[in-house]
């Protein structure tokens, strides 16, 4: 089996989650950002811990682009 093809159960899971996301996107007032934020919170809850990120450089909030 090629490395880029997920195993059948994993692909079935992805298909089901995608279907639910698509239905909610079409039938609710949620946009992609709202759905992504909710999904990330759910994954954090399911996995039991939040993903922490430490920036390797300083971000100057006063700096204009």
Residue-wise pLDDT tens digits, 10-60: 999 999 999 999 999 999 999 999 999 999 999 888 888 666 667 677 767
Instruction: Read off the pTM.
Output: 0.58
pLDDT for 51 equals: 62
- One DSSP character per residue, 8-42 reads HHHHHHHHHHHHHHHHHHHHSS--HHHHHHHHHHH
pLDDT for 63 equals: 54
pLDDT for 7 equals: 79
pLDDT for 44 equals: 87
pLDDT for 34 equals: 92
């Amino acid at each position: 089996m090629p490395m880029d093809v997920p195993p059948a159960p994993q692909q079935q899971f992805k298909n089901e989650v995608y279907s639910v996301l698509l239905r909610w996107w079409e039938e609710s007032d949620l946009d992609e950002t709202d759905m992504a934020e909710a999904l990330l919170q759910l994954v954090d809850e399911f996995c039991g811990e939040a993903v922490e990120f430490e920036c390797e450089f300083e971000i100057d909030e006063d700096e204009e682009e």
